[in-house]
A = this chain, B = another copy of it.
Amino acid sequence: MLQSANEPIRLGEGRVGVGVAARLSRYLQVLTQAKKMGKDRISSQEIADYTNVNATQIRRDFSNFGKFGKRGVGYSIDGLLSEIRTILRTQGQHNIALVGAGHLGQAIAGSPIFAEHGIHIAGVYETDASKVGQLIGDVAISPYANLTDEVRDRQIVVGVLAVPAEAAQKVANDLIEAGVRIIFNYSEALLDVPPDVTVHTSNPAVELLHALYFHLG
């Protein structure tokens, strides 16, 4: 699932296992929302209810890194947020380039989640001239022709593809040529890329399919 990639892990160098990291980022999202709802502290059981991860597993995930909770009380939400962000190193600012300002692109760019987690959409690129100049979030849509130069100049290494399947391979090629090494592919297309480029393919519709399997007979 999500899925779940299998990258080489460097333990003992400050990096954590893939499974642990995936769960930690889910906890992060729950904690962020719980804080918005005005909560100050939370128990492992409450996190379990929202994430479908076993409560013991959650406590174990935290205790790998220290004793963050208080017995009989639970975890301080602010404290946990800070600890998890340190572990995941999501404190810094990351620049990404988004290609495609259709419905999916606008949904992604409009989400408040990026800003909340220190990810900055440095540019949105689109071939449809009638969309160029429009604002999504606080970024103006740029012409696709600018993509290569701007990505290169800003040394952006993460590209997000929210374009139709037919266009995906060409856009990927352009991004890679400009220096991108991590591509997040929201199209259905299968991308052929050099070995030093990582592709993560996902799609709301595909995910929904996965989830349905577990619940429909």
Contact = CB atoms under 8 A, between A and B. Distances in A.
A21 B212 CA distance: 11
B204 A33 contact: no
A89 B211 contact: no
A6 B204 contact: no
Interface stretch (A66-74, A102-110, A127-135, A138-146): A102-110
A190 B28 CA distance: 12
A190 B25 contact: no
Interface residues of A, number: 71
A188 interface: yes
A37 B190 contact: yes
A149 interface: no
A63 to B, nearest CB: 20
A2 B2 contact: yes
Copies in the complex: 2
A207 B213 contact: no
A23 interface: yes
Interface in A36-58: 37, 50, 52-54
A176 to B, nearest CB: 14
Contacts of A1: 1-4, 19, 22-23, 26
A205 B111 contact: yes
A160 interface: yes
Given A1-B19, A37-B190, 9 more contacts: A2-B3, A4-B4, A6-B52, A6-B54, A25-B210, A32-B188, A50-B190, A50-B201, A90-B209
28 contacts: A1-B3, A1-B22, A1-B26, A2-B207, A3-B22, A3-B26, A5-B211, A5-B214, A6-B52, A7-B214, A21-B213, A25-B209, A29-B188, A29-B206, A32-B188, A33-B190, A50-B201, A89-B213, A89-B216, A94-B216, A96-B208, A107-B107, A107-B204, A108-B208, A111-B188, A111-B204, A158-B212, A202-B204
